[in-house]
Structure 1
Amino acid sequence: MTGAEEFGAELADFRSRVDELRTARALPAQERLSALDAALFELEHAADVLWPRYEELAAAARGGAEGLRGQSGQEQQLLRALFQRMPMAVALLDRETVVRRLNFAATQLFGMRAGFATGRRLTGSLRHDGRAALRGQVAAVARGEGARSLLVHLPGGRAGAALRVTLTALRPSGELRNAVLAVFQPAADGERPGPAPAASKAAQSKQVAAQGSAAGPYLAEVTRHAELMDLLDAMATALLGRRAGGPAELLERAARVLQGQFADWVVADLNDGGTLRRVVVLGPSQADGLRAAVAEGNPADCPLVVEATAAGTSALQVRPDDPELFGRDGDGAALLVRAEVTSLVCVPLRPGPASPVRGALTLLRSGARHAFEMAEAGVVDRISRHVALAMAAVEPSRGRDTAEAAS
C-alpha cells in the first residue's frame, strides 16, 4: 500500500470516529467528559499525525504528482470542515488567550462571529472573576507544562453559565511556539453553583433567537433592519412631539426610547463650558442601588465620556478589557463590573463635525444580551446628531450658531 493509500485509509477511520463523537450532544451533561477526552485525542491526532503526514506527501509529490497535490488540498479542506463541525465549542488560542480560530459551536456559545472574535482575547467573553485564572492556565499550557482543566463562567448568570474548559498544547506547522486548544462544555451538575433562575433561561433563549438560524441569515438581517428603523421613528416622534423645557428634559425623552428593548443602561452627560455633569441615568428597575451609584458618579472621572466630549469621537466596545472605562462607585468598585456590562456604545452630542460637543450619550448592554453591532452603533450615532439638533432648538442663544456650524 502506497503512502497516499495509507493516508487515505487513516483519514477515513478518523472521519468515522468523528461521526461517532457527534452523537455526544445527546448524552447528559455529566456523561460528556469521556466524549470530551476522546475529542481532544482526535484533535491531537489530526494535528500531530495527520497533518505532518500530509506535509510529507505534499513534499514528495512536488516533483510532478499534480493529482496527489490536488487530493492533499481536499484533505486540508476536510480537516478544516471537521474542526468547524465539532459538536463542542472549540477555540484555538495563543498564549495570551487571543483567539486565532473559533468553530461554529463556539460562536454560538459566546454570541460572536468568528471574524469579529479573531484577534481579540477570549477572556473578554467570560465573567471577570475567572479571566485571570484562564489567562494563567493558558500561559502554563503554552509553556509546555501539560494539559489542564478549569471551571469558568459566562457573564450574566444565564442558564449554562458554568463551563468546564479543557486546555491542551498544539504546535501549528511552521511555527516556533505552541498554541492552545480550548474545548468548552457545560459543567457537570455538581460543579454548578446552583440552578439558573427562570428569567435567565428566558434571556438566553431570547439571545439565541436574536442571532438567527444558519438557514435564514437574510431574514434575520431584514428583521433587524426593520427594528432599527422603528427605533429611529420612535426617537423622531419623541424629539418632535412637543417642545421640551430644556436639554435635560429632551435627553430624558431620548433615553426612555433607548432604554429597555435597545439598551439596558442609558446615561446622558452634559458639557457646560468644559464642566461635565450627569443629567440622565436609566437602568434596570431591580438595580436601584447601582443606578444611584451611576447617577452620583462624576463624568469627569469616566475616561469613556471624557474622550467623547473632548475629542468628539464615538466608541463601540464589546467585552471591554478596561473595567474602569466608565469610572468607579463610591467604594472603588468598577461600574462596568458591577453592571456586568458586555458591550457599550458612547457617542458625542453635537449637530455637525464643526460644532462644539454638548455632551455624551452612553449605552450599555449587560448579561446575556446580544452585543452591540456596527449597524446598531451607526444608528446611535445618527440619533446623537438628531438629539443635538433638538437641544440646539431649545437653547435659542446657541441655536443659531449651532445650526450654522451643522450646515
Structure 2
Amino acid sequence: MAESSEFGADLSDFRSRVEELRSARSLPPEEQTAALDAALFELQHVAEVLWPRYEELAAEARRNGGRRDEPELRLLRGLFQRLPLPVALLDHTTVVRRLNVAATELFGMRMGYATGRALTGLLAHDGRPAFRSQVAAVARGEGDRSLEVRLLQEEGAKPRPGGALRVTLTALRPPGEPRPAVLAVFQDAEGTRRAAAAAGRAVRPAAAGAAGHPGGHGPRVSKAPRPDLAEVSRNAELMDLMDDMTSELLRAEPVGREAVLDGAARLLHGRFAEWVVADLAEGRSGDEYGGWPLRRIAVLGPDPQQAASLRAQDPADCPLVVDAVRNGVSALRVRPDDPDAFGHDASGASVLVRAQVTSLLCVPLCVPPSHGETAPALGALTLFRTGWRRAFEMAEAGVVDRMSRHLAMALRQAGLQAPPTD
C-alpha cells in the first residue's frame, strides 16, 4: 500500500515537470537547450525507474488477488461514520465520495443518493462559487480553508435546521487513490462564533492579571505596538490609488463603456501592474448589460509586439477570464502553476510564460447585488506583475475587488447613457 502511494506521488511529480517543460517552447531558441536536456532526462527516468516500478506493483497485485480490505481501513471507515459532526469526503470538483451519518441527516438525503453528485447542489446559490473555488484550492495543495455557507431551502420543502454553516476544508490522500481528496467538516456558524467569543473572554482576565504586578495586583502596563512604516506606506499608496480611480470614474462628461474601461486600465498600468488587460462583456442595450460574447478593450504592457498579440486574443480562450465572468470568481495567483491559465498567443506560446508573470490578479466586474439578485458580470480586469516587482498581496487584492465594483457601476451607468450599437 505504501509503495503504491509513493509511486502515485512520483508519477504526479513527473506529470508536473512535464507540464513545465511544455511551456519551454515559448523560450528563445538559444535558451531551449537546457529544456531539451531536461526532457531527455525525464524520458530516461520513465524508462529506467517508473516503468519497472509499475511492472513490479502490477505483478504484486496479481499475486495478492487485488487490494485487500485491511482491518485498519475498516476501523477508519467505522470511525468516519460515527463522528458526531457532519463530515463529507469530496473530490476537487465538490463531487461527494462519502458522507457520514451526521452529514446525511444534515443534508436530508441517503448516502447512496449523494455519492457521485456535486455537494454545491445542496448549497445556496450565492455561496456556491466560493465553496467550489476553495475546494479546488485545497485539492491543489494550497492549504486548509474555512468559509461560511448556507443550505439551499427548496420551495415547498420542510425548512432545514440551522442557519449559516462553518465548513472547514483540509486535504488528504486516501490509501490507493491517485489524487488527493478534500475532507469537509460542517459546524453551526453561530455556535463556533459564540465559542470563540467565550474563549476570548476567558483569556483576557488572565492576561490582565499577568500584565500587572506579581499576583495580578496593581496597574496594568501595556505597550502599544510600533507601527510598520513599510506597511503604512503601502496602505497610503493603495488609498491614493483608490482615490484616483474614484476621480477617474466620476468624470462629469458622459463617455462610453469602452472609454470607461480604457481609462481605468491606463490608471493602473505601470503604477500598479506591468500588464493590464480589460475585457468587456457585450450587452444588447442599456438595460441588458453583461453576458456574452466577450470583447477585449485594452491591453497595456511593456512589450508592444506582445501587447498587439494579446489584443488579438479571444477572451473566451482565457480560462481565468471565462471563470471570472461566468462564475464571478476572483483569482490571485503567486508564481502561477498552470502556464495555460491565461491561454496562448498567436504563436501558440503560453501568455504567462512569455510575459514572465510572477503574480496575477483577475477580478470580475460585477455590480453589487440588488434585492438579493446578482447581475451578470460586465467584464473582467486582469493584472500581471513581472520580474523584480513584489507579488500581489491580499490587501492589494481587496482594494482591486472594491475598485472592480466601482468600475462595474460606472460601466452600467455608461451603458444606460449611451447604449452600445449592434
TM-score bracket, shorter-length normalisation: 0.3 to 0.5
TM-score, scaled relative to structure 1: 0.46
More helix by share: 1
